[in-house]
Chain A
Amino acid sequence: MPRLTEDPLKTPLIIAGGKPMSANKTGNWRSARPVIHEEKCTGCMICWKFCPEACVTIEGELPKIHMDWCKGCAVCVQECPVDAITLENEEAP
């Protein structure tokens, strides 16, 4: 059977485009916020590794939780091996 490569399509391959979902700020789902206490943090990045939102980034030696998207699931609070993250209630604006 002839391969399609011998008669290449004129249309370009579609590349994943559109806008990332980060346009959708999910931070307002949160009822409690994780707070990193930098003096305790060892920079092991376990909070980054286990964030289901992918909203923890590595800033130099320390992790940073981006509150625009954090839904407050508290997986990072639970998994932090040195208890450097605490969960604090959100105040209603």
Chain B
Amino acid sequence: MTVKTSIPQDEKLSAGHLACQGCGATLAMRYALKGLGTDTVLVIPACCWTILAGPAPLMSVGVNVVHSPFACAAATATGVSHGLRARGNEKTAVVAWAGDGGTFDIGIQALSGAADRDEDIIYVCYDNEAYMNTGIQRSGGTPAGAWTMTTPGAAGAERPKKDLDAIIEAHHPRYMATATPAYPEDMVRKFKKARDIKGFRFIHILSPCPPGWKYESDETVMLSRLAVQTGMFPIYEVEEGRFKLNVPVAKRKPVAEFLRRQGRFRTMGEPEVAAIQARVDAAWDALNKRA
């Protein structure tokens, strides 16, 4: 009668939310809540999830939500965490849930402060690589060569993606990890694990976005998987400084397989693709030395 599934069947994400067709960020939230459980408070700054959480009193998540201003998801989460702990509540997980704009750019000061103070929060960045909620403007998370509304023309974004994971790791967090919706078991496990650790935890989720990346909505999971299999987005975790590669990719696919499926890289030439391939190769050499 009961079917065995690889992730918990209990559902905290409610259907009827306002995300675009094939949204990667809703999958991320779905898996995150499966790992975190209901004893959780979400702190959401301006991002797509501000909308997706629902217009009150309607809610698309079965947990408490605090909406925060753009720059201070980590600071607001710090306050919520301190408030709960002062009342003797040691077990409710406080989760800051921000997009890449609210993490890489606008919220980085509050994030850096919270990480440095080792606040008892989980900071999650669901990274769709641009300001998608306001209509696809370039952020620090946008990769070089990508078209956005503010990087028009054939060349796309000039600057490479900011290496946020290195910035966070330099803060010596208790736990940090990367995840993406194509690997739900891995993501659920990481949220479960992060929940049981005290202190500052950080999870970086690559979240494909059909309108922003310009692909058909059915390819969300496929692109998420390709990002890992091409080596563009390695899946790993760092626990108290110990590095572990969770999805080893024995034979990496060419990055072109990931790039050529997306309209935002449509005008990218072969030399630019080769440059990205070289950058990914170098990054993997460094990763393999750590693993």
Contact = CB atoms under 8 A, between A and B. Distances in A.
B15 A73 contact: no
B14 A21 contact: yes
A77 B1 contact: no
Contact of A50 (B13, B86, B181): B181
Interface of A: 3-5, 8-9, 14-26, 29, 43, 45, 48-50, 52-55, 58, 60-61, 66, 68-69, 71-75, 77-79
A14 to B, nearest CB: 7
Nearest to A53: B15
A29 B21 contact: yes
B87 A4 contact: yes
A26 B16 contact: yes
Contacts of B219: 78
Most buried by B among A43, A72, A78: A78
Contacts of A15: 64
Contacts of B142: none
Q: Tell me what chain A mostly uses at the interface: helix, strand, loop, or mixed.
A: loop
A74 B217 contact: yes
A5 B1 contact: no
Interface in B19-65: 19, 21-24, 26-27, 30, 38, 54, 56-65
Contact of B1 (A3, A9, A60): A60
Contacts of B105: none
